[in-house]
Structures are given as C-alpha cells and as structure tokens.
C-alpha cells in the first residue's frame, strides 16, 4: 500500500495496537481505517473521493462515526501528545 504523509507513524501504530481491546480478525486492519481517517482530515477530500489505497469509504465512515460517538477523540489527543513527546526527545538528542 502506498504511504501518505497523513499515515500514522510506527509509534502511533504501536499506541493504537496497545489501546485496542478487540483483537478479532477483520476484513480491514483498523490501522488502515485510522490512516484513511487521517488522510481525509489532512486532505479535506470528500468521503466518496477517498483514495482506493484505503478500505471503502463506507467502511471508513462506519468506524469514524462509531468511534466519534464513543469519544475516541481522547485517543487522538493522546496520540498527538505522544507524538509531541517523541519529537521533543528527538530534538534533545540532536
């Protein structure tokens, strides 16, 4: 699959994997769903124009809506915080 600038970093992927409680087998990896959501947010494209590199837009929207209702915004905020901490650590090492 093609990598986009909006895709999650390896660190963010690890955080999400730890946060996921449901490890059942799925047709589409939830990390692909997250990447698709971030792609939509970053590019501002309409759902119907989601790149074919990602799962179908209806699938992505299903999870987006489900997570939004559950308050997954906190997880997104946590990811941003972790990313900020990691960037600060890297800056101090240079």
Average confidence (pLDDT) over 46-68: 91
Quick check: 42 and 5 in contact, CB under 8 A? yes
Candidates 93, 83, 66, 79; CA nearest to 19 is 79
Q: pLDDT tens for residues 28-39?
A: 888 888 889 888
pTM, full prediction: 0.61
pLDDT at 19 over 60: no
């Amino acid at each position: 699959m093609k990598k986009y600038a909006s895709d999650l970093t390896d660190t963010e992927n690890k955080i999400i994997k730890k946060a996921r409680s449901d490890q059942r087998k799925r047709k589409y990896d939830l990390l692909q769903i997250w990447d698709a959501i971030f792609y939509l947010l970053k590019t501002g494209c309409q759902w119907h124009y989601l790149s074919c590199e990602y799962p179908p837009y209806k699938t992505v929207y299903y999870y987006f809506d489900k997570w939004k209702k559950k308050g997954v915004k906190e997880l997104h905020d946590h990811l941003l915080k972790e990313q900020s901490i990691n960037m600060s650590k890297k800056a101090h090492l240079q």
